[in-house]
Amino acid sequence: MRSTEHFSGDTVKAWVRSLEQTRVTRGAQLPNSPNRKLMSPKTIRNLHGLLSSILQEAVTAEPPLRGRNPCELTRLPRSDDDGADEGEDVCFLTPQEVAAIRGCLERRADQLLLDVKYGTGLRWGEITGLAPMCVIDRGTAKPKIKVRRAWKKDGQGGYYLGAPKSKKSRRVLRVSPTVMAALGELGLETLPSDGLFWTGDRRQRLHGSTFNNRWHRAVTKAKKAGLLPPEKFPTPHDLRHSHAAALISAGYALTYVQRRLGHESIKTTSDLYGHLLPELDDDAMQTIETALGGQRPQLRVV
């Protein structure tokens, strides 16, 4: 901790630069897989934050082990440099590509998980925390999912079900008949109120890595069958992005997508999906020309 040779502004900067060049694997990918992805800015920030907290303890120790925290001098990559939410590279899937991956999943429960995730845009911790008590208005024409809990890390290597990550994450979503049919098949009317729709083989929390392995096998199978372009390397989280893309491509406003995904800020939604908005220049120029002519522009219905 005292060593400036090991921990100085220069050594920390060099370490961060090396992390930016580090490629990591996910799911069932082998360590030497050519499809490894660069470590995300969010992961780098998390690792840097851990080191910074350790060095800060050295600064505030009695007696102090260091005069200052060298991590304060580091310029970190922007967390949105990869254009992704929650540190993932974005890979948008077409409805046909989603269907292809679904058809290559071997387990029925995995297929239904895909249906619900693509149909709602829920995060992994939110969807695997779903239980019958989260489905409201189920006997009406407008059934909904109330996102009231999600799996969270307890800081000791375990997980617990707690409130979602932010105020905007605690939301109510309308769901389609296909989503309701999937939940019905999973035990909506037979499971205990707080019984999880998806669990591991021992009825415990369904680990992301467990599903990721089966997902990557399905992606590989879909590519071999020519159903998925070889340059695409989607993760399960891309079902959330693709859910948003399907809505935006149909003309739904970013504010609606923001509320549905539970983004705390509209800026997050805009940064991620703003480029998907339909080209509006022609309509906009007509609106401006009408206004310049002294007339009230016609209301545009989206």
Give the CA-trace dihedral at 60, 66, 71, 72, to 10 degrees.
70
CB neighbour class for 26 (10 Å; exposed up to 12, middle 13-18, buried from 19): buried
| Cβ proximity of 74 and 41 under 8 Å | no
Residue 58 burial (CB count, 10 A): 16
pLDDT band at 25 (very low <50, low <70, confident <90, very high): confident
Q: What are phi and psi of 220, to 5 degrees?
A: -60, -45
pLDDT tens string 67-120 = 889 888 788 875 543 334 444 568 899 999 999 999 999 999 999 999 999 999
What domains, with CATH codes, occur in the chain? 9-73 (no CATH), 95-241 (1.10.443.10)
Give the CA-trace dihedral at 37, 39, 40, 45, to 10 degrees.
180
pLDDT tens string 262-283 = 998 888 888 888 777 766 667 6
Distance between CA atoms of residues 17 and 117, nearest Å: 35
